[in-house]
Structure 1
Amino acid sequence: MNNIWQPILVGDIHLPHRLAMAPMTRSRAQANGVPSDLAVEYYAQRASAGLLISEGTQPSDDGQGYLATPGIYTPEHVEGWRKVTSAVHEKGGRLFIQLMHVGRMSHPDNTPHHRQPVAPSAIAPGEQMFTANGMLDIPQPRALLTEEIPQTVENFRIAARRAIEAGADGVEIHGANGYLIQQFFAPNANARDDRYGGSIENRARFAIEVAKAIAAEIGPERTAIRLSPSATLGGLDEGLEGPDLYRYLVAELNKLGLAYLHIMHFGNEALLADIRKLWEQVLILNRPSRSLEAIGSDINAKLADIESYGQFFLANPDFVERLKTNATLNQPNHATYYGGGAHGYIDYPAL
């Protein structure tokens, strides 16, 4: 475990150790998408994580899927996030804002414009979404027109610029967990016959265009991306070509010199080893089921440069200190993960 306490350079940011706080949706933003004052306290409490990756933050009205998630595309959003980044910086932490466009994983009741979700193709995920009216079936999305896709890329670019204006140290593109970018990868969600569908190169194109646009806007050293190879979240099936798509995609993204690649790992160890060889910058690895005893194992095995953790940081604002001193950990309260107020959000005790 000693290797996790070695400092590391991510982009142009010096971090004191090899742990990071994974992005976690908490659904506590204001109705207009502005982070609440509770969010300021929440992130500041966890600044010792070193690198904090924010909850998924929509780059546009179309990007929102869940109730009370924050945005980063209006002046009000920028002002709200500036309070968060300032509080984190005052405590010595660094914050990347994760840009999350959910694509078809949305419901009109949850978005500002109440419109039909957009996606690569008009194929519903076959799942339900929590709304103010309870659990409802996710409707069939509208397929993005070929000529609309550049504007969607532009929305990501502008959101990245807004994030930097808000004081963020960088942005993480959410290309994982069944949302828009990964929907382009999966043949059962992408039936397009234009330059964004069919071949591996075409299905990877949107992700690469988004990464290039953001890197050109804010610098590759402040641009990162998260991927979840083989994940079936949101009803996706990447098919037999899935591993080869990721090999191609990672090799192309590697050429951009991004700050880091964040992998949410679902068990294909051979693919993970290949990604490690293909990626020359910092690699952050998240294993959703990793035990406390296994912390540091992927760093020691040189499969990762940083390990990210969600629930440990959610329930323990001082998780780093507790890990260093072998202190007892708070247990997370699953009932307070999403929505609500301070309880289960900023009232977990520190040592």
Structure 2
Amino acid sequence: MQHNRRTFLKQAGLGLSAAFLSPYLFSCSGNKTGNGPFHNLGIQLYSIRDLIGTDPIKTLETVAKIGYKHVETFGVDAASGSYWNLPVAELKGVLDNQGLKTHSGHYDMSKYLSRHHQDKENIEKYIEIAHQLGQTYVVAPVTPMDDLNNLTIEDYQYAAEQLNKAGEMAKKAGIKIGYHNHFWEFRNFANGTKGLDILIAFTQPELVDFELDLFWIEKAGLKPQSYFEKYPGRFSMWHIKDMDKQFTTPVVGEKFDTADFMGIMKEIKYTEVGTGAIDFVNIASYAEKSGLQYAFVEQDDIYLPNKFESIKKSFDYVQKSLAK
């Protein structure tokens, strides 16, 4: 199976258009006072990628009005040093004007983490951009996507070594490297070890943190709590993403581990946080054990006509139910 990151992202997003929220929709927003990661909630901007790609300034203004305190970036054009046609310095100014911070960004490391590519991404450039934005984390959002069904223990060990090397580079700028999971990192090898276990075991905690995507670990048939217990303090970031109640079948196991990628994607549907199958209240009780610093709402596909309405629903649920 040959799939690259671009193919995955294309299939993961419907690209539905949406209008900006009317002022009345902000009337009941506003988060609770507090210093915790749920009070100071962030959003992964990939959730509203079509909107921010069309009008980044207005989109960020609306995100701030909803009540989000920080954003996680994606899709940097490293060659030009820009996001969505905004130079990094200009983007930083827009964020500052809206009272938004950015603590973390997703930076494509698909080739850097691959044993089979010599033309690696420029990690030093990523670190420079993250430093300009004031980010604490440079996050690898996905494994090499060339042949997901044939990733080996050696592939994960190599990726861990690469993450450590990037962590050494980033440390000089006061930045850590992060890794964000999907479902295939929870496939079993012959000895029962999983890819994410290898990445955690072979990376140095002072250099590399992990961003646990709560949807994907649940969709793999596991519980986030089990990983927080097993690896306390290693998950400084969470993606808070919910699962449609009609699409809860795990996509890890004998039936799926050699399946076509597109067939697996048919088993996946997202929904607004708090409206689906995931028990976030219980998961949130493990925030301290996990080492949680930053929490981000994310929804890979939004099915409501107004995407801002969707991310506001997720924001409101987190404020009501998790920001204690």
**TM-score normalised to structure 2 length:** 0.56
TM-aligned CA distance change 1:5 to 1:75, over 3 Å: same
90 and 238 in structure 1: CA distance in 2 versus 1, 3 angstrom threshold: farther
- Among 157, 160, 166, the alignment partner of 1:204 is 160
Q: Aligned equivalents of 1:262 and 1:251: distance in 2?
A: 15
- Any unmatched runs of 5+ in structure 2? 1-31, 244-270
- Distance of aligned partners of 1:172 and 1:256 in 2 relative to their CA distance in 1, 3 Å threshold: same
CA contact (8 A) 2:141 2:179 kept: yes
For the pair 1:228 / 2:182, whether they are aligned, the reply is yes
Taking only aligned residues, the RMSD between alpha carbons, in angstroms, comes to 4.3
Q: How does 1:253-268 map to 2 (within 5 A)?
A: 253-256=203-206, 261-264=210-213, 265-267=216-218, 268=221
Instruction: Confirm whether residue 309 of structure 1 aligns to residue 297 of structure 2.
Output: yes
Confirm or deny: 8 A CA contact 2:130 2:138 kept in the other structure.
Answer: no
Aligned to 2:58: 41
* C-alpha displacement of 1:99: 0.6
* 1:284 CA drift (Å): 1.6
CA distance in 2, matches of 1:228, 1:276: 19
Shift in alpha-carbon separation, 1:251–1:287, aligned structure 2, 3 A: farther
Distance 1:157 1:284 in 2: 25
Matched, 1:74 2:29: no
Q: CA deviation at 1:240?
A: 4.5
Q: For the Cα contact (< 8 Å) 1:286–1:309, is it kept in 2?
A: yes
Higher-RCO chain (CA-CA 8 Å, sequence separation at least 6): 2
Letter in 2 for 1:210: A
Assess, with a 3 A threshold, how the Cα gap between structure 1 residues 308 and 79 changes in structure 2: closer, same or farther. Answer: closer
Amino acid of the structure 2 residue aligned with 1:44? E
C-alpha displacement of 1:53 = 0.9
Separation (CA, whole Å) in 2 of partners of 1:26 and 1:119: 27
Alignment counterpart, residue 250 of structure 1, candidates 179, 186, 200: 200
Q: Percent identity?
A: 6
Determine if contact 1:49/1:319 at 8 Å carries over to the other structure. no
8 Å contact 2:33–2:39 — kept in the other structure?
yes
Q: What is the aligned partner in structure 2 of residue 126 from structure 1?
A: none
Counting only pairs closer than 5 Å after superposition, residues 22-37 of structure 1 correspond to structure 2 as: 22-24=44-46
Relative to structure 1, the CA distance from residue 283 to residue 324 in structure 2 (aligned partners, 3 Å threshold; closer, same or farther) is: closer
Q: Structure 2: which amino acid aligns with 1:21?
A: I
Q: SS at 2:56's partner residue?
A: helix
1:156 aligns with 2:118: no
Q: Which whole-Å CA distance do the structure 2 matches of 1:198 and 1:18 have between them?
A: 39
- Measured in 2, the distance between the counterparts of 1:257 and 1:119 equals 16
AA partner of residue 217 (structure 2): F
Q: Tell me if the contact between 1:72 and 1:159 (Cα under 8 Å) persists in the aligned partners.
A: yes
CA separation in 2, counterparts of 1:199 and 1:321?
A: 37
Give the Cα separation in 2 of the matches to 1:89 and 1:24.
20
1:202 match: secondary structure:
helix
Q: Is the 8 A contact 1:99 1:172 kept in 2?
A: yes
Q: Does 1:91 align with 2:58?
A: no
Q: CA deviation at 1:219?
A: 1.6
Does residue 299 (structure 1) correspond to residue 284 (structure 2)? The answer is yes
Q: Deviations along 1:215-272, whole A, 9 cap, x unmatched?
A: 234223x54332235359xxxx6744674442232244452255x5211233343675
Match of 1:7 among 17, 29, 35: 35
